Amino acid sequence: MIEINLCVFLIICGGSLVLIKADEAFRCFNFTWVAPVLRHKNCSTVKNAPCIEPFLPTDEPPSPVDYEEYWNSKKYLCSAATGDVCIKYTFSYNNDIVNTSLFCGKAIEDKIIPITSGCYEQQVDGYILEMCACESRKGKKPCNISIKVQYSIVLMIIMLLVIFWT
């Protein structure tokens, strides 16, 4: 009798936990921002750049404050399917962002290897194409908001001197 009651209790509790966790999917930001000078063109005319709807109508790329607002309002989100990762694809020219798209998707290297994290960069006709992939955690903020951090060698030397000098 104790075994039956315990099983029923675990089934009821387990079912409740499944219902609570069902809404906590892997989420990624999902939108495209296009530089104002290109907004009059169709986004799909930008060579080698994904064109993910909806489009953000702002003059500047989203800031960390904007991402916080999108997360809190659950705006501009997609639910990642099995095997999907969060992707941020940035198309820039002369250190200015021309187009940036964030979305749920799959990335594959050499037509075989699935990419689950990291950034990849390619130069095409003077433009820099950067694709970053990451895996978000269930119920947590999407990971595809970060930007690649680049450090100058001068800054690194100064930091090392300060660390070892003291």
Amino acid at site 121: E
30 within some domain: yes
Q: What is the mean pLDDT of the chain?
A: 74
Which of 74-78's residues contact partners 24+ apart within 8 Å by CB, and which partners? 76/29, 76/30, 76/31, 76/102, 77/27, 77/28, 77/29, 77/30, 77/142, 78/27, 78/28, 78/29, 78/30, 78/103, 78/104
Q: Taking 60 as the threshold, does the pLDDT of residue 58 lie above it?
A: yes
- Please check whether residue 130 is in contact with residue 121, taking contact to mean a CB–CB distance below 8 angstroms: yes
46 within some domain: yes
106 within some domain: yes
pLDDT of residue 75: 85
* pLDDT bracket for residue 41 (50, 70, 90): low
* pLDDT bracket for residue 20 (50, 70, 90): very low
pLDDT of residue 102: 92
166 within some domain: no
Range of the domain at 127: 26-159
2-6, 66-70, 116-120, 123-127: segment of lowest average pLDDT? 2-6
18 within some domain: no
17 within some domain: no
* pLDDT bracket for residue 88 (50, 70, 90): very high
The domain tally of the chain equals: 1
What would the mean pLDDT of 6-19 be, rounded to a whole number? 34
7 within some domain: no
